[in-house]
Structure 1
Amino acid sequence: MPPGTDAPDRGDSGVSRLAGSTSPYLRAHADNPVAWYPWGDAAFDEAARRGVPVLVSIGYSTCHWCHVMARESFADPELAAVLNDGFVSIKVDREEHPEVDAAYMAAASAFSRSLGWPLTVFATPTGRPFFAGTYFPPEPRVGLPSFRQVLDAVREAWTVRRGEVEQTGAAILQALAASRGTEPSEEAGVPSAEELADAARALADQEDPEFGGFGGGNPAAPKFPVATALRFLQTPLVREAAGGASAVADRALAAMAGSELRDPVEGGFFRYATRSDWTVPHYERMLTDNAQLLEVALDAGDDETARGVSGFLIGVLQQPSGGVGAAQDSESWIDGARSEGGYYARDASERTELEPPAVDGKVVTGWNGLAIAALARAGSRLGEPAWVEAARWAADTVLTTNVDADGRLVRASLDEIPSRAPATLADYGQLAGGLLALAAATGDVAYAVRARDLVAECVEESRMPRPPAGGDPVLAAQGVEAPAEASDGDEPSGPASIALAALDLWRLGAGEQWRRIAEQIVAFHGRRAVAQPLAHGALLRAAAGLVVAPRQVVVVAGDADDPLVTAGRGIRADVFAVVTPAQSEAFASAGFELFEGKAALDGRATAYDCQDFACRLPFTNAAELVASPSSGR
């Protein structure tokens, strides 16, 4: 062992530093012989003290190849000894620290075009990445060195050619900074209706004509749902101006719902299919996918699929605390061995005899916002009050648990213990959107007020939205920044989430300033979005909401089962709110002008059908409301 590289212990108490983590992924590595550190300054300080490089290993709880590399390498005492001797090792849950993941993924693109998880990054003690890859096997394979070979090569380079290593790290940081400097401009304005229709047609041109969804041509190519793009295609603007493109979303949903991508027993969708015909799924089931696909099913009128997904979200992912867990694993124990997908191959009766795959019970703030919105809207539309109550339960949990000592949102919690990671911009926007949907479904204005406060925290100090706590403090101190992009991954991006929440605030009558905020965000990113619609579905959905006058239906009724409420559920509208007379007054008093003057006429349930805040004469008869000319929009 070279001088000055004494191997560290597992912690001051001899207990793994990961054992008390709020991440199930980190907890799963707590018993490794590797002396893991969680993400934070302490690991880099220790690397500087010892004069060794840092290994940053990034993954998540339901990642199959993360499990594989953990079993093959991180549980191997010999490899662990190599790591402990020559490196400081950091384990990161990408779902808890998305900014860290994004920054290192961008850096890793300099070394490999094939990226994914586990993400394996080597950095200097000052945090500069100088080599990266993904999964490395225990023995060399065609095109892949063994993990031991990688460790030996990195250590040799660090020992013999440290100057070159430092230069590589500096060059990568410069490249990342340069990429952030090429930002768009809001001068081009919000895309027009025609431009958005063209973007929808461009998306439709990417449809797989044989199996539905996006892609095709290569039967062995993976297929993802891309729910953000599907939801843009289902907007009123696209349905009216480019109906053929809108049909692509409906066909994609039907293809996925009838394929192996959907679990026929428990109703949830798997992450993606490894083949273009939606077969051979990657069996993890993610909250982000299922929450968004519930909304897609709802807008497509596929009640059966919507009911199945709702059942999965509530029956499988929702935790005893009320929050909704992040995902369900692809692997489970069957006959004493780990099996990927074996549980899902069994029918309902056979499953009862098996232990189901583990659920990552981490309650991610923004992802719960997506679930809250989906369950609240679906419950309201399909007359399922239990779903709305499940959404309320999740919202109350997040608002009380996923906060720090100052009451500011954090990224996640586990077992009702908040993470130290700050909430992202997407967390704020997605949670705000969920709370606004819940307010409309329950008539409880407190959720709308809280949503308004959350969005305000992100926009009050700058022209472009920023998370109140700023970025990750460790990355910021090291000068490592994540790409400043508004493109979607498997969820709406941060800027798009804030724009959508601001748009919903405006639709509820919170004031024109919220529309201006949405316009500003969309104008800033709009040119790139229309040019790359598959990657910017959420932002395009916000843009579509800005160029079409909103349809708002408010039903004031003392009984949620009133026939007028039932009739209103069948109307396509941007806002569908059911409130009691007292709740309507509370909304108006809190500054939501859509509800001003909305009362139950002569004590009877009354529906107000509005277009861009101009309301027709109120309805007290369900048949007249259903027969109204605009009710089929």
Structure 2
Amino acid sequence: MSDNRLGTAVSPYLRAHADNPVDWREWGTEAFAEAAERDVPVFVSIGYATCHWCHVMARESFSDPAIADELRRDFVSVKVDREERPDVDSSAMIGASAFTQNLGWPLSVFMTPGGRVFYAGTYFPPEPVQGHPSFRQVLGAVREAWTDRRDEVDQNADGIAAAITAQSQAGGGADDAGSEARGGPATALPDPSAVHAVVDRLAEAEDREFGGFGSAPKFPNAPLLEFLVDAGADGDAQALDLAERTLTAIAGSDLLDPLDGGVFRYATRRDWSVPHYERMLYDNAGLLATAGALARHRPGGIAPQLARGIARFLHAVLRTADGVFVAAQDSESTIDGRRVEGAWYREDAAGRARLDPPPLDDHVLTGWNGLAIRALAIAGAALADPTMIEDARSAADRLLATHLRDGAVVIRSSTPRGPSAAGPALEDIGLFAEGLAELALASGEARYATAARTIVDDAVTLDDTGRARVVVGADPVLAAAGTDAGEQPQTALRSGSMGLAGAAARLAELTGDSRYRSIAAQLVAGRANDGLRQPLGHADALALALELARPSREVVVVVEHPDDPMARRGVAERRPGTLVAVVTPEQARAFAAAGFELFVDRDALAPAAYVCHDMVCALPARTIDALAASLSA
């Protein structure tokens, strides 16, 4: 018999396991209470809907009735979608690192009924392979340890919990009561020269033969590339060259789908060949933002073409009928009744038309949509592409209507089956706020800046000492176990705290309120100083550190039509420390009425450009030449 409880799950990944003979439960206090009552360990299997090896382990092991019987008898089995519960995944990943450095998904974790990891691995095969035990052997060994060596199990669990706590403190993550931004007012932002020195080290680490960084597997690492573009905009030509070479290598490789412009998650070989074929919203959004930003400085290179291709993929493949973006497209498709990885993507256009495309992971994630909104706004402004900006606007409007309540983000993910019970993570709050702030600048619509301000004000407070506190709810199981890992360093996508800092920095420029700049600096300082040593994990913080270290300059271009040449000249001027807003006189009045001081008295002339330093503005420039002179002054 089966007591599988995933049939009503919102997550597409969980629902894909609803027919397994395994007695799956969803993550929550009830599953751990059951384990405590039965005195058995909890087996937690973490993956996501488009994960190839998750599919493989499901077919090999979770569909096996004999394995299901073992799990039913000796464990409480819990399925977790890492997209739905990134906090659980982050905590479990740190715990798993005590046992293997080859981390990834599926993540197979064994926990005590108190929610503490005591053993973990990733994919386990159905039969022993080259020294790797089979899944049934692992189950037997865990069962034996739980029954005969409980003291050892408890010691392991306590030690791993302590390691997760230490990692959380090092990462500066927020807990359920709110945590102070690491370093606080006493931690200084790194000097720009130290940040630019990181570029020299990255240039030395470049793969000069095939482009990019590292060997196999090779990832695009959009936050790192965007940092290089920002460093280049700050005057480092080497950084721009390095970013452009890497994007050119990606665009000319198997990692880019030549038919629809989408980018695959990573390449399994150093030369960017043999992709892992799943396509994630966050990778494509990050690369779109990078290519859009680079297009302002290298309009004759690969950047405009790459940006337009990715935007086309987002619009045609990942965009829903109501204007938001789903999480990913699968690596596998069904051909001749079999699930095959990559086969559909290797077809030409005619071949694809004859076959069903790989399915979509229909999660609508607030944070990942925030990344897409930001990217479309940046690229749309740089390339004067109204479709990109309209796609960003549609996604923002839908999320504002469905994922917020009273101005605060309350939903992390939703699907056509409804919202998930998992609460919003820091990335949902920060990345959505940053996307809205960027969209306000690209569209000229004050309501997006107002929404960003409300989200930031709800998430961050300054105490009596001026120290910033970020409050994000913690999962009750992790909180009780003391294993909430908080936010970890950025990897493939921009981190939530840096999104929050980016939004706060924009609000400081729009409002003239130094409180927002203090919030941004506090959130960035500690991570940016870490980034001087470990840029791969903190590239987003390094980019913001450059912006915050420069004197604030604001450029407001007031035009009757957005295609005015003065508007294009203003957008091209964007670099660290410089905010550029293009508005009509009516939009300037709306910003001013909403409390954004930068736009007060900016509605009388059009065309006109105001170049300001810390909100103190020069006389309006009425021509392109006058604007150029004012910018160079």
Partner of 1:13: none
Moved more, 338-347 or 374-383: 374-383
Q: Secondary structure at the match of 2:80?
A: strand
How far did 1:258 drift? 1.0
Partner of 1:399: 400
- The residue correspondences of 1:551-630 to structure 2 (distance < 5 A) are 551-573=553-575, 574-601=578-605, 604-622=606-624, 625=627, 628=629, 630=631
Q: Secondary structure at the match of 1:144?
A: coil
Q: Is the 8 A contact 1:401 1:418 kept in 2?
A: no
The amino acid that maps onto 1:515 is R
Moved more, 264-273 or 517-526: 517-526
Partner of 2:176: none
Partner of 1:199: 198
Of residues 36, 56, 69 in structure 2, which corresponds to 1:81? 69
- The residue correspondences of 1:97-112 to structure 2 (distance < 5 A) are 97-112=85-100
The verdict on how the C-alpha distance between 1:501 and 1:90 changes in structure 2, with shifts beyond 3 A counting, is same
TM-score in terms of structure 2 length: 0.92
Partner of 1:121: 109
The amino acid that maps onto 2:557 is V
Distance 2:513 2:204 in 1: 38
The verdict on how the C-alpha distance between 1:190 and 1:467 changes in structure 2, with shifts beyond 3 A counting, is closer
How many residue pairs are counted as aligned between the two chains?
Answer: 611
How far did 1:570 drift? 3.9
Of residues 529, 535, 538 in structure 2, which corresponds to 1:536? 538
How far did 1:577 drift? 2.3
Q: Secondary structure at the match of 2:205?
A: coil
The verdict on how the C-alpha distance between 1:607 and 1:629 changes in structure 2, with shifts beyond 3 A counting, is closer
Q: Secondary structure at the match of 1:436?
A: helix
The amino acid that maps onto 2:412 is R
Q: Is the 8 A contact 2:408 2:458 kept in 1?
A: no
Q: Secondary structure at the match of 1:306?
A: helix
Residue 351 of structure 2 corresponds to residue 374 of structure 1: no
Partner of 1:30: 18
The amino acid that maps onto 1:157 is A
Q: Is the 8 A contact 2:293 2:379 kept in 1?
A: no
Residue 506 of structure 2 corresponds to residue 504 of structure 1: yes
How far did 1:465 drift? 5.8
Deviations 1:481-515 (A, max 9, x none): 21554x21211223222211111212223521111
Deviations 1:66-117 (A, max 9, x none): 0100111111111111111111100001111111001011111111121111
How far did 1:282 drift? 0.8
Q: Secondary structure at the match of 2:339?
A: strand
Partner of 1:422: 423
Residue 357 of structure 2 corresponds to residue 356 of structure 1: yes
The verdict on how the C-alpha distance between 1:257 and 1:143 changes in structure 2, with shifts beyond 3 A counting, is same
Q: Secondary structure at the match of 1:508?
A: helix
Q: Is the 8 A contact 2:60 2:125 kept in 1?
A: yes
Q: Secondary structure at the match of 1:428?
A: helix
Partner of 1:293: 287
The amino acid that maps onto 1:457 is D
Q: Is the 8 A contact 1:404 1:418 kept in 2?
A: no
Q: Secondary structure at the match of 1:278?
A: coil
How far did 1:447 drift? 1.2
TM-score in terms of structure 1 length: 0.92
Q: Secondary structure at the match of 1:131?
A: strand
Q: Is the 8 A contact 1:136 1:147 kept in 2?
A: yes
Q: Secondary structure at the match of 1:92?
A: strand
Distance 2:486 2:460 in 1: 20
Residue 225 of structure 2 corresponds to residue 230 of structure 1: yes
The verdict on how the C-alpha distance between 1:252 and 1:407 changes in structure 2, with shifts beyond 3 A counting, is closer
Deviations 1:414-444 (A, max 9, x none): 1172211111112111101100111112222
Deviations 1:198-237 (A, max 9, x none): 1222222211111111124xxxx211111111111111x5
Of residues 160, 182, 192 in structure 1, which corresponds to 2:148? 160
Residue 322 of structure 2 corresponds to residue 321 of structure 1: yes
Distance 2:407 2:242 in 1: 46
Q: Is the 8 A contact 2:407 2:451 kept in 1?
A: no
Partner of 1:45: 33
Q: Is the 8 A contact 1:117 1:134 kept in 2?
A: yes
Of residues 51, 62, 78 in structure 2, which corresponds to 1:90? 78
The amino acid that maps onto 1:194 is S
The verdict on how the C-alpha distance between 1:467 and 1:25 changes in structure 2, with shifts beyond 3 A counting, is farther
Residue 254 of structure 2 corresponds to residue 255 of structure 1: no
Partner of 1:268: 262
* Structure 1 gap segments, 5+ residues each: 1-6, 11-15
Partner of 1:387: 388
The amino acid that maps onto 1:192 is D
How far did 1:408 drift? 4.2
The verdict on how the C-alpha distance between 1:320 and 1:539 changes in structure 2, with shifts beyond 3 A counting, is same
Partner of 1:347: 348
Distance 1:554 1:405 in 2: 30
Q: Secondary structure at the match of 1:517?
A: helix
Name segments (4+ residues, structure 1) moved above 6 Å: none
Distance 1:431 1:175 in 2: 31
Moved more, 92-101 or 418-427: 418-427
Distance 1:483 1:396 in 2: 29
The amino acid that maps onto 1:270 is F
Moved more, 468-477 or 534-543: 468-477
Q: Is the 8 A contact 2:20 2:63 kept in 1?
A: yes
Select the structure with the greater relative contact order (CA < 8 A; seq sep ≥ 6): 2
Moved more, 76-85 or 561-570: 561-570
Deviations 1:563-620 (A, max 9, x none): 443444444354332322222112122221221221242xx43233445544444233
Q: Is the 8 A contact 1:552 1:609 kept in 2?
A: yes
The verdict on how the C-alpha distance between 1:178 and 1:535 changes in structure 2, with shifts beyond 3 A counting, is closer
The amino acid that maps onto 1:392 is R
Q: Secondary structure at the match of 1:451?
A: helix
How far did 1:379 drift? 2.0
Of residues 55, 59, 72 in structure 1, which corresponds to 2:43? 55
Distance 2:555 2:62 in 1: 56
Q: Secondary structure at the match of 1:189?
A: coil
Distance 2:496 2:112 in 1: 29
The amino acid that maps onto 2:477 is V
Distance 2:40 2:69 in 1: 14
Q: Is the 8 A contact 2:264 2:278 kept in 1?
A: yes
How far did 1:469 drift? 4.1
Deviations 1:250-275 (A, max 9, x none): 11111101111111001011111111
The verdict on how the C-alpha distance between 1:17 and 1:397 changes in structure 2, with shifts beyond 3 A counting, is farther
Q: Is the 8 A contact 1:587 1:595 kept in 2?
A: yes
The verdict on how the C-alpha distance between 1:129 and 1:345 changes in structure 2, with shifts beyond 3 A counting, is same
* Structure 2 gap segments, 5+ residues each: 173-181, 296-302
Distance 2:591 2:287 in 1: 30
Distance 1:404 1:281 in 2: 40
Distance 2:587 2:196 in 1: 38
The verdict on how the C-alpha distance between 1:199 and 1:393 changes in structure 2, with shifts beyond 3 A counting, is same
Residue 267 of structure 2 corresponds to residue 278 of structure 1: no
Q: Is the 8 A contact 2:431 2:500 kept in 1?
A: yes
- The residue correspondences of 1:159-198 to structure 2 (distance < 5 A) are 159-182=147-170, 185-186=183-184, 187-198=186-197
Q: Is the 8 A contact 1:465 1:498 kept in 2?
A: no
Q: Is the 8 A contact 1:557 1:600 kept in 2?
A: no
The amino acid that maps onto 1:584 is A
The verdict on how the C-alpha distance between 1:621 and 1:206 changes in structure 2, with shifts beyond 3 A counting, is same
Q: Is the 8 A contact 1:464 1:521 kept in 2?
A: no
Distance 1:484 1:319 in 2: 29
The alignment yields a C-alpha RMSD, in angstroms, of 2.3
How far did 1:446 drift? 1.4
How far did 1:468 drift? 3.8
Q: Is the 8 A contact 2:293 2:378 kept in 1?
A: no
